[in-house]
Amino acid sequence: MSDRDYARDVNARYTFDHLEDRILDGLRAMGKDLNALTPEDLAPADQLHSGGLAATLELVALAAVRADEVALDVGGGLGGPARILASRSGCRVTVLDLNEAFCRTGAALTARVGLGDRVTFQQGDAQAMPFADHSFDVAWTQHASMNIPDKRALYQEIFRVLRPGGRFIFHDHMAGPVQPIHFPVPWARDETINHLIAPEEARALLRETGFRERLWEDQSDQTTVWFRESLARMNATGAAGVPIGLRLAQGADFDEMMRIQGRNFEERRVSTILALLDRP
């Protein structure tokens, strides 16, 4: 697939009309005051990964980013995790995302919660980042690598833009011990933009790139439980029981993807890894 076709297919997966309006309407319907929104208020709409806000808070604690440090969120989507990180740690965060509409909507949501001076958005491809060497103290990514075909380029780029002594933290889906996976899943309708690799393959690539592992934790059991609970809420309450982010843009289609992804976890076809690595 050419670079242009790849970007087109990934963007088609994540582009929705009037996303900001739909998010704000959804938050208003939940009883939020749109004139006094906090980063946490946005969480039902902007934490586009399993585990939601709790997963992001776990990364915040683990990454221990200082106020004078600069972080990069690779494939940061609407910037939900970046806003939580910036507001909790006081640091600055750059969000890199392939999707122009996510960057635009993310910047508008960031301005709304008063973090425009600390969280900025840059449209671009994680496999060829538009940043100088050694630009960041911390690199962070959640649930983006499964859409990225060239993992070697991804990890090399993260290594390159981190300063020596920097760290890389991620929370990612990878291939489970049972294959293949069932489609459609929240990140891909079919094989075309699905790029899960096995944890051991990722680990070897990271080592070859030069990273030193500090923590490597298989969180598949927690993710399985999270899907079980989210699906139970969804079945009991319908739309109100699930995060509104992509659901609100996709309706019943999204419910089906959640069910299939839950089944992938139950059958150990997808796994989740939390990792922290040092860049020497």
Ligand X SMILES: C[S@@+](CC[C@H](N)C(=O)[O-])C[C@H]1O[C@@H](n2cnc3c(N)ncnc32)[C@H](O)[C@@H]1O
Residues that bind ligand X (CB under 6 A): 10, 14, 47-49, 75-77, 80-81, 96-99, 102, 125-127, 142-144, 147-148, 187
Q: Which residue lies nearer to ligand X by CB, 51 or 176? A: 51
Residue closest to ligand X (Cβ)? 77
Q: Do the beta carbons of residue 50 and residue 143 sit within 8 Å?
A: yes
Strand partners, 74: 96
Q: Are strands 270-278 and 212-218 parallel, antiparallel or unpaired?
A: antiparallel
Q: Which residue lies nearer to ligand X by CB, 277 or 280? A: 277
Q: Which residue lies nearer to ligand X by CB, 126 or 270? A: 126
State the nearest-atom distance from the C-beta of 10 to ligand X, in Å.
5
In the chain, the amino acid numbered 198 is A
Q: Do the beta carbons of residue 109 and residue 79 sit within 8 Å?
A: yes
Q: Which two tokens stand for residue 231?
A: 């699906």
Q: Which residue lies nearer to ligand X by CB, 3 or 117? A: 3
State the nearest-atom distance from the C-beta of 205 to ligand X, in Å.
16
State the nearest-atom distance from the C-beta of 102 to ligand X, in Å.
5
64 phi-psi bin (left φ>0, alpha ψ -120 to 50, beta other): left
- Angstrom CA distances, 206 to 41, 220, 264, stand at 35, 20, 25
Residues, the chain: 280
State the nearest-atom distance from the C-beta of 134 to ligand X, in Å.
20
State the nearest-atom distance from the C-beta of 137 to ligand X, in Å.
19
Residues 6+ apart with CB under 8 A from 73: 79, 81, 82, 85, 93, 94, 95, 96, 140, 141, 142
Q: Which residue lies nearer to ligand X by CB, 123 or 216? A: 123
Q: Which helix (H) or strand (E) holds 145?
A: none
Q: Which two tokens stand for residue 249?
A: 């843009």
Other beta carbons less than 10 A from residue 57's beta carbon: 17
Q: Which residue lies nearer to ligand X by CB, 148 or 175? A: 148
Helices 100-112 and 3-14: crossing angle in degrees, nearest 10, is 40
State the nearest-atom distance from the C-beta of 130 to ligand X, in Å.
11
State the nearest-atom distance from the C-beta of 82 to ligand X, in Å.
9
Q: Which residue lies nearer to ligand X by CB, 100 or 267? A: 100
